[in-house]
Structure 1
Amino acid sequence: MNKGRDKSMRWFSSLLLLLCGMWLGGCQQEDDFRSSAQTGFQITLTDEGNQAYSRTAPTELEKPVASMFRLRVVDASTNKVAYVGKCAESVLVKEGTYNLTATYGDNPVIALDAPYYVGTLENQQVVTGQMTSATISCTVANALLSVNYNEESLKKAYEDYSVTVSVDDQSVEIDATGKQSAYFQAGSSVQLVFHGHLAGTGKEVSYDIAEPVNPEKPDWKPFTNIPARTHVKITLGTDGTTSSGVGISVEKVEVSKVSVTETLPLEFLPKPKLESADFVNNELSFAETEKKKSAVINLKLSSPLQDIKLKFNSTDAKFAGLEADKEYLLSNADDSAAVASLGITLPKIGATTGSLDFTSLIPQLMTDAGNTVSSTITVDVEANNRWASEDQAANRVYTLKCNKPVFHVSVYPGNIWTKEFTMNPLAAEEVESGDYESLSQKMTYQFSMDGETGWTNLGDDLRKADLQPGGTYYVRGVYRGVINSEATEVKTYEALSIPNSTLDEGYSTTYPKNDNPLYTFNGGWIGTRNSLTCHSDGVNAFYVSKSSTLPISDNGSTVAHLMTIGWGAGNTCDFGNKFGSVINHVSAGLVCVGDYEASNDTIYAKAASIRPTSLNFTYKASPYNGDEYLVEIALVNISNGIETVIGDAKLTSGEAVSSYRTSSIEVKYHDEFKHLPITHIRVVFKSGIKEDKDHLEDKFRDASFWDGYTNAYLIGSQFWLDSFSLVYDK
């Protein structure tokens, strides 16, 4: 069997242009025939029945295919020829009914690679002023035979060989390459004769090749009366049946139907082309380390791939093993191995489809310390004995542009303190371009006082200590020691001292009733609960009009005396020190850092961007009747009206402390909110947590009937706050 021809016909699948009205036809005499105001035909040639076959071509079939057919237009009523000539886009005729015949070739008795194509379309009407569409389906009108040679066996016995194919008195020779086929008129019978020179002796021998017999098909005669569109393919080898010791055998016979598409001569097929959806104007831009970047150049082939030429020009170290501007051939094993070692996936010679895939190469290319590096690759492809470079206008230079990866680094607010911070390692969401895993493996982290100079590497823990409260500093990430992220600003928290937290800066008084003052400590940060614990009915009453928090002098300074008191209205007296049920409310004495709202008994946190480690306080306490005093601190984030507790500490105790003591509670910060900054602080001191009147015993102090009991109040738990302070250990 003809090897080259056979492979060609196996590999091609469907000539898209022929299958989808792709042959540009028509019979044009002058350019103005194309006017839509003219009368005639618009011609389209297709392969028979739009079938799919084994050879393909690009969607745009180039010349000479478009002009290789001739068209004959005959008036169906008069049998007169209206047009005969080459096919173009259109042909003008008068109104009428016509028969159209498209042909290619001369239908010889026998010849090498001489296909003959015919297509007919009958009784096509044309109306004056209109161009009528006419689609002509074309078929192969002659038959062909090809020979494949079993080279492994034949070359052991013969120095050279060929086969003569005859029809009547005419013949052609199919040489040892098997690249050509014998074409002959449909219905012909062929005779085959093998010729060769024996190896060693050079003796010329010849054998008639008998028509093969298929016992299962007694009427099967592959060499006799071969119909149109039939392709007979034989494979020849040797046997030992002759007197010379070497004979010829038919190892295989295949008979198939062929189409116009798969029998087109190679010279009529278009040159190969290069196409890519990944490259934009032949350029692919990507970030260093990028892995998910597709970089494929597809080969548009109409016949099997014969070769590829590649030339490289790059300053990237990855290309150091290649010579600049040298042509590397796919057909050269050393060349293809050198190219493949870069990570470029190459197609195989003989493939009918394929691509050059640079996807694996992309992540290996590098910038010049962040400066863009462009690598160019010039590609030329050979198929159907034509190179893509035949098209002088085609851009065959592809550019891989490796750009600096873009990323940034950050520090969670929850990792920032007053005197230190710990920055975050690179996170996937902080990589704008490039591959996160590759970047993070070669990332170092640096610190600077001003963001421009004095950059120093941070330790493995990424911690920077010994900083100033409220200072501004900078961090950045550095990839492979040369590519920097933008500097990220980091501000340490202020070491805020609560104004008048010693309570020694005084207090102010208000007078809601008579001369019974209510107290608020100066400084604007420290509030009390006084307004709630004051009687406002304007009548004489016991245990009313008294503050639950009083400023007193004790422990050598001003102290806030917090008391849990009962209060209310509508009280009665029986002068026997027996009083009716007159306690309507019980309220604990309170000092807070925050704005106290009496109407809803709520403490609103004060705005403060701080991060203390603990709260110190000096106090003594006298819990009453199983009650417990409360000390609490909360550092919160308030955003869009929503309060989130970032860190807090709380102490409740029923321990009586008779002399002043300094204690501390450590703030615990919640890691799940480390991404939120601290915006506010709230600190609470309460004399007791039980604010139910059933927990209080009726007990009056400093009450005088003769004074109208205006100085009387019911008291339970007591707490004395001397001072408090925020601690910043970090």
Structure 2
Amino acid sequence: MNKVKFLVAALLGVLFVACSEEENLSQTGKTGFLVSLAEDVKVESRSTPEELGEPVASQFNLKITNQVTGSELYNGSYTNKLIPASAGTYAIEATHGENQLLAVDAPYYKGTAEAELADGESKTVNVKCKVANALASVVFSDGGALKFEDQFSKCELNVLVAGDSALIDGVKSAYYRAGSTPTFEFRGILKDGGEEVVQTLTDDKFSDPATFAAGAHCVITLKIGAVEPGVKIEITKVEVKEVTVSETIPMEWLPKPKVTAEGFTDNTLSMYETETPTAKFNFNLSSALQELKFTLNLADETYQSLNKTYTLSELSEEDRTALTNAGIILPVIGFKEASLDFTGLTAKLTGSTTGEVLSNVITLDEVKANNRTLEGEQVYTIQTSAPEFNLVVYPGNTWTRQFTANSQVTHGNVSVISKGLTYEYRTVDGEWTSSLDSIITELTPKTAYKVRGKYGDHYTEEVEVTTYPVIELENGGLEGGTITKGNDSNGSQYGAVYSWSGWCTLNELTCDDTHAFIWGNTAFNSRSGTRPATAREGSNGSASAWIMTMGYGYGGTSGPEIITPSELFLGTLTNVNHSEDTATKNYGIVHKSRPTGLRFYYKYTPYNGDSSDIYIQLKGINGEILGSASLNETSSVSSFKEITLDIDYVDEYKELEPETLVIVFKSGFNSDVKDYETWSLMGSNSAEPSHRGSELYIDDVELVYDK
């Protein structure tokens, strides 16, 4: 059968009688324990716990811990009722007061006990309690020839512990944490001349740890030893006594109420509208709250009707309701755990629309408990500023018919402001139009607008944004493919160079103007790889573009020396060198707009596992790829097929404006000259290239502006 040990520290003015305890236990029929608190040692001294009185048992805190598991069975106010417990070993501790480093008239009580409890057993545990900190008192003896009251207008003993100090005058006692090593100074003001006398006191007992142990009361008796040539203070005796209490403590002995302002720094809380900082006054009470008075002087116009002084015990239902509706949580008289909470109000306070900081002042006029009142008014201020936020419209979020206004919150609750933010926009000379959505739609291309954000009564600065123009491609129908150089007849010096307005090809490179003259039949390979072809059915135009991978250069009809996938692209071809068969492709044209996609028709015949190389790019001023889309077709498409490539814009470059548009239609990637023997071979009398691979047809190209 297991037994339970309990260790308790507490103090009770009226001890439980053993027989009545046993009777109470027998009546419960439950497993658990009753705890009674008892005094320990008794002594007489100034401002000792005996004089201050015995603290009531209900003011003690009781903690019961299972010594095996370490879990707390109970931790709360002392109770003389049965505390249920299972079998086990327990430690009990009861405490009252604060174990401060140094304070005046502030005893700290502690008692401990341990007990074992068996299954089905109830037990009474009596815990003896005593003062657990140490104290010092001073006696100014008048037994000698010189009396203190004749020589000094004021006499005090200064007690110093670890940098803190406390002055006692023979009535009060200084309490310090047990085990500390205090030092003592006499301080007095001479009646004759008002000179201050300060003298450090020494005694052998000051070096004895027992002098400053828990429950030790060091009584220092002083006398005046001499006056000339200077006043000398002597220690008559140092007595060390053990201290406790024996009588019921008067309420006034307990410490005055203290206030801890949660959320305030130097009595001020600075916040922005929409923020919800904690603003709470916690009352540190030794007994139940008896009274609270506070005054409100709120600058917020919504709550100025609350501005007056409130007495908690006299509060009308109307005032109580108004305060509650404002988000103020009131404490309850008669409860020790008490606080005045303004956190709910801070969530509702607003800032000024004119920019100044609003000061909402809370004054604690009176906090009363154990018949003692917090001294002096305590004034606290909640300073409220308007939220700080603005709008920005990025080029990357601007289109031809819409833009997105991005909110940026500098000060305030981002989530709250974002949810409550609305938008207003107008043309430069127009009227404001409201929008709940940050995406402003149904606008006019190439038009200047102004936009601003609104939260409550607060507005952002106006931002000006201009929608992009709708810029169409030149010759998107690929009409007018004309010969600008050479011809396609057999045996000519070079094949015809086909050109299109608005577009560029590699034809100038592949139509060699020298080799045919030397070799005669080389012209069969010296041809345009991009040529006009029949328009798709249903097209408004009369032609399409036929783009093929071809062989050209030396070799005549026997095969290509160089293989080139042909291209149709936006840009220019420069630095054409027929001797080296090289040229510079300058991709892109100036294009300061933001299309959403590229639409066109195509058909394709890939050769030997090839795939098309089709793409569109929008670039920034330094070549950054702001957005792109591509098509790499690997299947055979025998009839014209419509497709729209949606441009994917990169958020990383949303602050950049488009400068260049790149569109490339390329027949494929395969340029391996080793494959030439397997290529399709056209008749030598044809004007088309003698050797060709992948073939791509393009028609009706247009930019899409869906936003």
Query: Normalising TM by the smaller chain, what interval?
Result: 0.5 to 0.7
Quick one: which of 441, 454, 458 aligns to 2:431? 454
1:239-388 to 2 correspondences below 5 Å: 265=253, 274-276=259-261, 278-291=263-276, 293-299=277-283, 306-316=290-300, 319=303, 322=306, 324-329=307-312, 339-347=323-331, 355-368=339-352, 372-380=357-365, 381-382=367-368, 387-388=373-374
Question: Would the alpha carbon gap of residues 609 and 664 (structure 1) be closer, same or farther in structure 2, given more than 3 Å must change?
Answer: farther
Which residue does 1:611 correspond to in 2?
A: 594
Question: Is the counterpart of residue 548 in structure 1 residue 529 in structure 2?
Answer: yes
Question: Would the alpha carbon gap of residues 341 and 90 (structure 1) be closer, same or farther in structure 2, given more than 3 Å must change?
Answer: farther
Q: Distance in 2 between matches of 1:350 and 1:86?
A: 44
Q: Distance in 1 between matches of 2:451 and 2:530?
A: 48
Quick one: which of 552, 556, 559 aligns to 1:567? 552
Could you tell me which amino acid in structure 1 is paired with residue 309 of structure 2? K
Question: Is the counterpart of residue 526 in structure 1 residue 503 in structure 2?
Answer: yes
Q: Distance in 1 between matches of 2:573 and 2:627?
A: 18
1:216-255 to 2 correspondences below 5 Å: none
Which residue does 1:697 correspond to in 2?
A: 680
Contact 1:563/1:588, CA 8 A, preserved across alignment:
yes
Contact 1:566/1:586, CA 8 A, preserved across alignment:
yes
With normalisation by structure 1, the TM-score equals 0.54
Q: Distance in 2 between matches of 1:137 and 1:454?
A: 91
Question: Would the alpha carbon gap of residues 613 and 507 (structure 1) be closer, same or farther in structure 2, given more than 3 Å must change?
Answer: farther
Q: Distance in 2 between matches of 1:565 and 1:496?
A: 34
Count of matched residue positions in the alignment of Structure 1 and Structure 2 = 516
Contact 1:627/1:689, CA 8 A, preserved across alignment:
no
What's the CA shift for 1:447? Answer: 1.6
Contact 1:476/1:484, CA 8 A, preserved across alignment:
yes
Question: Is the counterpart of residue 91 in structure 1 residue 199 in structure 2?
Answer: yes
Q: Distance in 1 between matches of 2:615 and 2:346?
A: 55
Contact 1:407/1:432, CA 8 A, preserved across alignment:
yes
Quick one: which of 471, 476, 486 aligns to 2:447? 471
Could you tell me which amino acid in structure 2 is paired with residue 145 of structure 1? S
Contact 1:6/1:146, CA 8 A, preserved across alignment:
no
What's the CA shift for 1:25? Answer: 9.7
What's the CA shift for 1:456? Answer: 0.9
Which residue does 1:238 correspond to in 2?
A: none
Question: Is the counterpart of residue 145 in structure 1 residue 246 in structure 2?
Answer: yes
Quick one: which of 658, 670, 682 aligns to 2:662? 682
Quick one: which of 99, 102, 120 aligns to 1:14? 99
Could you tell me which amino acid in structure 2 is paired with residue 473 of structure 1? Y
Aligned with 1:361: secondary structure?
helix
Q: Distance in 2 between matches of 1:91 and 1:653?
A: 105
What's the CA shift for 1:275? Answer: 4.8
Q: Distance in 2 between matches of 1:340 and 1:91?
A: 58
Q: Distance in 2 between matches of 1:447 and 1:318?
A: 29
Q: Distance in 2 between matches of 1:602 and 1:89?
A: 100
1:408-447 to 2 correspondences below 5 Å: 408-409=390-391, 416-418=398-400, 420-421=401-402, 423=404, 430-447=408-425
What's the CA shift for 1:687? Answer: 5.3
What's the CA shift for 1:641? Answer: 6.8
Aligned with 1:14: secondary structure?
coil
Write the deviation string for residues 261-290 of structure 1: whole angstroms up to 9, x where unpaired: xxx946xx6x65545463234222222221
Which residue does 1:247 correspond to in 2?
A: none
What's the CA shift for 1:590? Answer: 1.6
Could you tell me which amino acid in structure 2 is paired with residue 612 of structure 1? P
Q: Distance in 1 between matches of 2:204 and 2:628?
A: 91
Which residue does 2:471 correspond to in 1?
A: 496
Quick one: which of 250, 262, 265 aligns to 1:179? 250
Question: Would the alpha carbon gap of residues 117 and 492 (structure 1) be closer, same or farther in structure 2, given more than 3 Å must change?
Answer: same
Contact 1:649/1:666, CA 8 A, preserved across alignment:
no
Could you tell me which amino acid in structure 2 is paired with residue 17 of structure 1? L
Q: Distance in 1 between matches of 2:601 and 2:287?
A: 94
Question: Would the alpha carbon gap of residues 628 and 701 (structure 1) be closer, same or farther in structure 2, given more than 3 Å must change?
Answer: farther
Q: Distance in 1 between matches of 2:506 and 2:684?
A: 21
- Aligned-residue sequence identity (percent) comes to 24
Gaps in structure 1 of 5+ consecutive residues: 28-41, 51-58, 71-81, 103-114, 122-133, 148-177, 181-263, 573-578, 705-710
Aligned with 1:467: secondary structure?
coil
Aligned with 1:364: secondary structure?
coil
Q: Distance in 1 between matches of 2:337 and 2:566?
A: 88
Q: Distance in 1 between matches of 2:304 and 2:321?
A: 15
What's the CA shift for 1:407? Answer: 3.1
What's the CA shift for 1:365? Answer: 1.8
Contact 2:291/2:333, CA 8 A, preserved across alignment:
yes
Aligned with 2:451: secondary structure?
strand
Which residue does 2:459 correspond to in 1?
A: 484
Question: Would the alpha carbon gap of residues 627 and 567 (structure 1) be closer, same or farther in structure 2, given more than 3 Å must change?
Answer: farther
Question: Would the alpha carbon gap of residues 313 and 593 (structure 1) be closer, same or farther in structure 2, given more than 3 Å must change?
Answer: same
With normalisation by structure 2, the TM-score equals 0.55
What's the CA shift for 1:6? Answer: 1.2
Q: Distance in 2 between matches of 1:536 and 1:724?
A: 32
Q: Distance in 1 between matches of 2:238 and 2:399?
A: 83
Aligned with 2:469: secondary structure?
coil
Aligned with 1:360: secondary structure?
helix
Q: Distance in 1 between matches of 2:622 and 2:135?
A: 65
Contact 1:289/1:438, CA 8 A, preserved across alignment:
yes
After superposition, the CA RMSD in angstroms is 5.9
Aligned with 1:473: secondary structure?
strand
The structure having more radius of gyration, on CA atoms, is 1
What's the CA shift for 1:375? Answer: 1.6
Contact 2:529/2:689, CA 8 A, preserved across alignment:
no
Write the deviation string for residues 465-521 of structure 1: whole angstroms up to 9, x where unpaired: 1412x33323333224x22233344332232244566676999879xxx97589596
Q: Distance in 1 between matches of 2:285 and 2:238?
A: 24
Gaps in structure 2 of 5+ consecutive residues: 1-12, 15-52, 61-95, 109-132, 141-156, 175-183, 190-195, 209-214, 222-234, 487-491, 575-580
What's the CA shift for 1:432? Answer: 3.2
